[in-house]
Structures are given as C-alpha cells and as structure tokens.
Amino acid sequence: MNFFNSALGKNITFVHPAYFVISGFSGIPNIKYYYVFLFFVYIVSVLGNTVVMAVIYLDHNLRTPKYIAVFHLAFVDLFGSSALVPKVLDIFLFNHRYIPYNDCLTFLFFCYICLCMQSFNLVALSYDRLIAITYPLHYQVKVTNRSMLFLIASIWVFVIIAILIAVGLLTRLSFCKSVVINSYFCDHGQIYRLACNDNTPSYVVSVLLPFLILWLSLIFILFTYIYISYALSKVATAQERYKAFKTCTGHLSLVAIYFIPIIITFTMMKNIHPNARIINLSLTSIFPPMLNPFIYVLQTQEIKVSLKKIFKIRKDSKITVKKLIIK
C-alpha cells in the first residue's frame, strides 16, 4: 500500500498502529461451544466443496458453462471459509486478539474478496438460467465455456480492484485513539470508524460497495426470475413450466441462503444487541459455504448421477483388483 500512499500525497504522515485488537466474541456466555460449532461447520464446508469440485472436474459431461460457475462457487466457498474460520479460531480460541496492522488489512482483503465473489457468482448462475430458459435454442451460442470463464475473470478483476481501493483508503487514515475492532474479523466498517482524521472516502466506499456488490446483484437476480416467470407463463403445459423451473431450484436455494440472512441482519442492525449482531454476521459468513454443496448434490440430477457413476467405477475397480489377487 506504500505506492497508494505516495501517489496521493508524499508529504502527508499517517499514524498507523502497530496492531489492532479484535474484541468480537468477548463477553458472550459459553462462547467456546460456538467455536466448536465453527470448527464443525468449517470441516463440513471443506469436505462438501472439495467433493463438488472433484465431481465436476472428473466428469467430462459436466464441463458446461453452468457447472463451470458451480465449480467456481465451490472454489470461492472453500477459499472464503479457509480465509476466515481458521483465523477466527486462532484469534479467539487461542487468544491471539492482537493482530498486526498489515496482517489485519490482508485479512480484510481476502475476506471481502470471497464475500463479493459469492454474490457475483450467484449473478453469473442467474444469467445462465435466464438464457437457458428464455432462449433455449440460442443457449449454446450465447453461453459458452469461454464466455463463462471470461465473465468470471472479469468479476475477479473488478472485485480485486474495488477491494484494493477500499483497503488503500484505510491506509490513508490515522489511528490516534482506540485500536479495538468490535467484530469477529478485521471489518472495514469497524476500522474506518476508529480513525481520528477525515474518513469520508472510506465511508463513501462502505456505502457504495454493498450497493454494487450485494443489493445490485440481488436486484438483478430478482428481475431475472421475474422475466423467467413471465417467459414460463407462455409455455403451453404446466408440466413443461414445472420442468423448466425445476432447473432453477438449486440456484434459488443458494440465493435465499446467501441474501436472506444478510437482509435480516442489516434491517435489524439497530434493534439488536452488539453481541447478537456479531453472531448473526458470523453465521451469514459461514453457513452458505457449508450448505451450498448439499444443495447442488441433493437438487441437481446431473451431479447425483455423476457421484453414483464415480462410486460405481471405484467399486467395480476394487472388485476387479480382488479377483486378480485371488487368481
């Protein structure tokens, strides 16, 4: 971030603390049980997302734009869980609440990258469903593996630049009072509010980024399904409408799991206890990566068929090996 500072002003000195203190779960009764729960959720998330990625990678029939996006979502969920949960457990379970300044900004960067990518990945999946249902004859032309990879790469570039700007602006702040962050990780909003100089640019970013990344994504997804519903209403038979809409149930479940807790938490933010807010925010971070693999395994016929095929091949290979050993 030194380049960012030098580009904006060479003669300005900013007071950066040696460390921040993460206070997050302090004072919450029986919080150690919650740490055990976090560890369990993390293990399930790692196993579930690894299985989904492995199945899509091994089955060549799943090398389609839709499953490229699903593979990417599983990767982001795995990456996000690994960036957040182990560090949170290290901070609170082993009482390493003092986190160096640069490490805190790095922690913030990776956590927000994953949060943003989860949201935009749901947008990519909704676009895929939109074209598949409303323009089925043109789907293979409009949505290709190459176009989906380009869309995902473009999202990565946009998100990385946006989060770099947010983190870079934090380096323009001076901290001459408290360094205690009342959150479970290095939260952008909690950090810039601790500054004792003008934090207006960081405030603007804190308003603009959620709108672009969360609310605009949700609006796009809602309009996508309004249009899909309108298109399906013109389909001749109820069975055809049901069959088409059934392909969307997995994605709709992901959208509900990701956005509903965020909406509830932000709308009730002023009316709930700070400890309850921290617990709610942490749950919105860890639950979607755990549940997403189960949704796609249970609700997607192609992945279930692929799993059965993989286990059958493995079982047949074991039987063949045993027969060869016996001979």
Encoded tokens for 218:
């949700």
Which is it for the CA torsion 250, 251, 256, 261, positive or negative? positive
Model's pTM, two decimal places?
Answer: 0.85
HEC profile for the chain?
Answer: CHHHHHHHCCCCCCCCCCEEEECCCCCCCCHHHHHHHHHHHHHHHHHHHHHHHHHHHHCHHHCCHHHHHHHHHHHHHHHHHHHHHHHHHHHHHCCCCEEEHHHHHHHHHHHHHHHHHHHHHHHHHHHHHHHHHHCHHHHHHHCCHHHHHHHHHHHHHHHHHHHHHHHHHHCCCCCCCCCEECCCCCCHHHHHCCCCCCCHHHHHHHHHHHHHHHHHHHHHHHHHHHHHHHHHHCCCCHHHHHHHHHCCHHHHHHHHHHHHHHHHHHHCHHHCCHHHHHHHHHHHHHHHHHHHHHHHHHHCHHHHHHHHHHHHHHHHHHHHHHHHHHC
**What is the CA 32 to chain-centroid distance, rounded?**
25
| Single-letter amino acid code for the residue at 107 | F
Which CATH code for domain 7-326?
1.20.1070.10
pLDDT tens per residue, the chain (327 residues)? Answer: 454 444 444 556 788 999 999 988 877 777 888 888 999 999 999 999 999 898 888 888 888 998 999 999 999 999 999 999 999 988 888 888 899 999 999 999 999 999 899 999 999 999 998 998 888 888 888 899 999 999 999 999 999 999 999 999 999 999 988 899 988 899 998 999 999 988 999 999 999 998 888 899 999 999 999 998 888 888 767 777 777 777 788 888 888 888 888 887 777 666 677 777 788 888 888 888 998 888 877 667 777 777 777 666 555 555 454 454 555
- Would you list the domain boundaries of the chain? 7-326
User: What pLDDT does residue 151 have?
Assistant: 94
Per-residue pLDDT at 7: 45
Q: Confirm if 284 and 265 have CB atoms less than 8 A apart.
A: yes
Taking alpha carbons only, the member of 175, 164, 168 closest to residue 13 is 175
- Residue 321 confidence (pLDDT): 46
